[in-house]
């Protein structure tokens, strides 16, 4: 059976949306009839998959954590390249597929083994203006990345932000857009919904208002927290569920909420696994996306649309990439405006149900599903194999 080498710095964490791209790639590659060798520093909590072998690259001892699927330093990439060479020497790969910064490793390994390679670049890794003092190091990394992109047999982007960047480098002819898809494709089973109701809804009259995100300003959780008092004044039965964050971050937020007198109205389940999160989203009355920055569609918003619950989102490029007044209530990125949107959907559930139905229809229209992901990857691999 033909074999693919997939390289990602990893690790896979089911509570981090971008990590699901690793799993979706593996599932699609296997369903296309390949076996897969995944080379990573740390597989994290990646579930065991038939047809997938996991190999660990050497790690720098001082580096305790490699963050995300697309970030690793130059020395780390070199160590991963050496491991990739060993694997390529033992196996005849049809293709090497590098994700994020590991696209550079795929280029080196492909050149060494004379194997076609694919560079997968995500919008979060598209170059931004560098800060003073880091220009030389970042410039060297970007030069290596540009060289690898220019020599890739094909380049995968997860949205049009990446394609715009590649067009500026005159590389759009080899670019393939494979959009992100929801983390969970299945409908939530009745037992899981019932458990979520028991866990998060204190009484039938209570309204569950859920927001998933990190505690960085980029995510805009401060807008949501500052909107809570106004929402509670209008909807006394509101219960806020804030998913994500470390224990230290949650502890700090508890103190601030206690000072505001609303601590008892907020639940912090922490980082949730995919299935548990899907059940919570499905039983929520309102889902909030307060993300401030970025231009790509957050995976959590795709999960929101799939859940069948209505969405209130602030008007920012990341949300506008897939949300509109047809499938969500769009507000200004300010606490009072967000609060008004949440209150409106709490008081008018029929309007929210209409938005939720259109949200599921949006996913269907945009082919945000595993089958479309697989077919797009098939086309990309076919193109890469033909371009030598």
Report whether 107 contacts 119 (CB < 8 A).
Answer: yes
pLDDT band at 68 (very low <50, low <70, confident <90, very high): very low
pLDDT at position 109 over 60: yes
The per-residue pLDDT for range 137-162, each reduced to its tens digit, is 556 667 888 899 999 999 999 888 78
- What pLDDT, on the 0 to 100 scale, is given for residue 132? 44
For the segment 347-374, the average pLDDT, to the nearest whole number, is 96
- What pLDDT, on the 0 to 100 scale, is given for residue 136? 53
Lowest mean pLDDT among 122-131, 221-230, 240-249, 347-356: 122-131
Judge if 29 and 16 occupy the same domain.
Answer: yes
| Nearest residue to 103 (alpha-carbon basis) of 151, 67, 56, 60 | 151
The per-residue pLDDT for range 345-357, each reduced to its tens digit, is 999 999 999 999 9
For the segment 21-40, the average pLDDT, to the nearest whole number, is 97
Judge if 177 and 264 occupy the same domain.
Answer: no
Q: Is 252 helix (H, G, I), strand (E, B) or coil?
A: helix
Q: Residue 233 is part of which domain span?
A: 190-365
Looking at the 3D structure of the chain, how many domains does it have? Answer: 2
For the segment 95-103, the average pLDDT, to the nearest whole number, is 94
pLDDT at position 242 over 50: yes
CATH number of the domain bearing residue 118: 3.40.50.2000
| Nearest residue to 291 (alpha-carbon basis) of 331, 232, 341, 248 | 331
Q: Is 218 helix (H, G, I), strand (E, B) or coil?
A: helix
H or E, element range at 360: helix 349-365
The secondary structure of residue 199, as a DSSP letter, is H
- What pLDDT, on the 0 to 100 scale, is given for residue 221? 84
Judge if 199 and 274 occupy the same domain.
Answer: yes
Judge if 274 and 376 occupy the same domain.
Answer: no
H or E, element range at 5: strand 3-7
Torsion of CA 266, 272, 275, 281, to 10 degrees: 30
Dihedral sign for Cα 48, 9, 19, 240, please.
positive
CA 119 centroid distance within chain: 18
What's the mean pLDDT when you consider all of the chain?
Answer: 88
pLDDT at position 262 over 80: yes
Judge if 146 and 205 occupy the same domain.
Answer: no
Judge if 173 and 257 occupy the same domain.
Answer: no
- What pLDDT, on the 0 to 100 scale, is given for residue 104? 93
pLDDT at position 90 over 50: yes
Judge if 215 and 246 occupy the same domain.
Answer: yes
pLDDT band at 359 (very low <50, low <70, confident <90, very high): very high
């Amino acid at each position: 059976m033909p074999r693919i080498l997939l390289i990602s710095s990893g690790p896979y964490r089911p509570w981090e949306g971008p990590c699901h791209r690793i799993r979706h790639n593996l599932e699609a590659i296997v369903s296309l009839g390949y076996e897969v060798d995944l080379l990573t520093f740390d597989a994290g909590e990646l579930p065991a998959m038939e047809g997938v072998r996991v190999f660990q690259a050497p790690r720098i001892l001082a580096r305790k954590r490699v963050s995300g699927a697309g970030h690793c330093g130059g020395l780390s990439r070199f160590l991963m390249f050496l491991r990739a060479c060993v694997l390529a020497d033992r196996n005849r790969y049809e293709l090497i597929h590098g994700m994020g910064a590991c696209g550079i490793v795929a280029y080196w390994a492909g050149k060494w083994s004379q194997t076609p390679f694919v560079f997968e670049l995500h919008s979060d890794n598209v170059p931004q203006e560098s800060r003073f003092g880091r220009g030389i190091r970042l410039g060297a990394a970007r030069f290596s990345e540009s060289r690898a992109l220019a020599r890739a047999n094909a380049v995968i982007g997860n949205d049009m932000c990446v394609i715009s960047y590649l067009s500026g480098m005159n590389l759009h002819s080899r670019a393939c857009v494979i959009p992100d898809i929801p983390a969970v494709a299945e409908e939530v089973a009745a037992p899981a919904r019932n458990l979520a109701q028991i866990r998060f809804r204190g009484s039938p009259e209570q309204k569950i208002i859920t927001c998933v995100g990190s505690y960085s300003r980029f995510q805009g959780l401060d807008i949501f927290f500052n909107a809570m008092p106004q929402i509670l004044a209008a909807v006394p039965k509101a219960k806020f569920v804030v998913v994500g964050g470390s224990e230290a971050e949650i502890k700090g937020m508890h103190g601030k909420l206690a000072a505001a007198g609303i601590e008892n109205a907020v639940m912090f389940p922490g980082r949730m696994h995919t299935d548990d999160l899907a059940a919570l989203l499905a039983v929520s009355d309102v889902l909030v996306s307060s993300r401030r920055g970025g231009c790509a569609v957050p995976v959590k918003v795709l999960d929101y649309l799939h859940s069948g619950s209505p969405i209130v989102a602030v008007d920012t490029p990341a949300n506008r990439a897939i949300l509109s007044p047809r499938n969500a209530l769009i507000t200004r990125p300010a606490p009072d405006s967000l609060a008004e949107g949440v209150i409106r959907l709490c008081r008018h559930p029929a309007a929210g149900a209409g938005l939720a139905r259109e949200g599921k229809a949006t996913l269907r229209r945009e082919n945000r599903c595993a089958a479309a992901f697989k077919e797009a990857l098939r086309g990309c691999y076919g193109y890469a194999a033909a371009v030598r």
